[in-house]
Structure formats: C-alpha cells, structure tokens
C-alpha cells in the first residue's frame, strides 16, 4: 500500500510540474512608401512579446521553448495604384538580441506577383528562447523592392509563436 501511495504522489507531482503550451499572435502594421519599408513595431518586438506573455499570465523566466510557427504578410491598402505584393523581390524576417547574432526567422520564397497575402516560410525548429532571455530582442526586415511602388502600400505582418511554459 505504501508503494502505491508513493507512486500516486510522484505521478501527481510530475503532472503539476508539466509543460503548458500557449500560442501568442502578434500583428505589426506598417507601410512601403517614399522609397522605404517601415514596420515600427518590430524595433520593440521584445517588449511587445513580453507584454503578450504577461497578458497570458506567463513569466518570461518560465519559458522552456519559444518558436515561430506561422507568419504571413498581407497588403491591406485598397484602391491604390499598387494592386499586389509583386514589388517585393526579397522579404526576410530576421531576429536579433543582445550578444546574439541575427537569425533568419521567416522568409518569402518565390514571386509575389498577383498576391495580396502570402504565407512566409518559417525556419524550422528555430529556438528563440535564448533571444528572449538575452534582452534587446528586436525584429528586422531584410527586403528588396523592385520596382518601388508608386504609392503608399499598407502592410500587416502576422506572427504566431508557440511558447512552452514550465509550470
């Protein structure tokens, strides 16, 4: 009987200390215009991510794993001269943090001609926990525009992150 109780106590303790999974959706808005691409929220990406984690009741120190699982880029402006994302010849989402090198998080592969929304190819199995812990986390866009759109093009970059939390 004593062995059975010990096994039940250990099993209950293991379940209480398990992992929980939270998915966080982050959406950043910006534009291409006047010859440049601006998505202002990416410079404070780390702060925004920490705020989202806190809103979910997750302490960033309890994160066991952080991965980008989905990303998309969408043209949200309507009725302008530019009708699609074909002006992007290259679009890459990079992440960097204090003391850590830039890393490719997601990118567009193939032509964007005729497309108003595209799914980015996420770098598989890229662990972002070290970037969260290092501090100074921010995102950058490495893009090539050719030709430059003749008008302002509004954009929405969506990111879904999977967070494994140690409870």
3-state secondary structure of 53: helix
Containing 153, the helix (H) or strand (E) segment is strand 153-166
What pLDDT, on the 0 to 100 scale, is given for residue 59?
93
Asked whether the beta carbons of 144 and 32 are under 8 A apart, the reply is no
pLDDT in tens, 9-31: 333 333 445 579 999 999 999 99
Phi and psi at residue 30, in whole multiples of 5°?
-165, -165
pTM over 0.85: yes
Q: Where are the domains of the chain?
A: 27-166
Sole residue written with tokens 């980008």: 68
14 by DSSP, 3-state: which? helix
pLDDT digits (tens, 9 = 90+) for 27-50: 999 999 988 999 999 999 999 999
121-122 and 100-107 as β-strands: parallel, antiparallel, unpaired? antiparallel
The residue length of the chain stands at 167
């Amino acid at each position: 009987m004593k062995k059975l109780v010990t096994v039940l106590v250990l099993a209950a303790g293991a379940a209480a200390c398990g992992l929980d999974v939270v998915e966080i959706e982050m959406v950043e808005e910006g534009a291409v215009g006047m010859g440049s691409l601006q998505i202002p929220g990416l410079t404070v990406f780390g702060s925004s991510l920490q705020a989202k984690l806190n809103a979910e009741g997750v302490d960033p120190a309890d994160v066991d794993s952080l991965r980008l699982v989905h990303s998309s880029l969408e043209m949200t402006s309507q009725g302008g001269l530019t009708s699609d994302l074909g002006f992007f010849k290259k679009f890459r989402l990079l992440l960097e943090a204090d003391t850590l090198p830039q890393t490719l998080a997601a990118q567009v592969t193939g032509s964007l001609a005729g497309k108003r929304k595209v799914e980015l190819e996420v770098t598989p199995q890229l662990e972002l926990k070290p970037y969260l812990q290092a501090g100074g986390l921010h995102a950058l866009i490495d893009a090539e525009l050719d030709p430059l759109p003749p008008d302002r093009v509004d954009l929405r970059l969506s990111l879904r992150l999977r967070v494994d939390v140690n409870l």
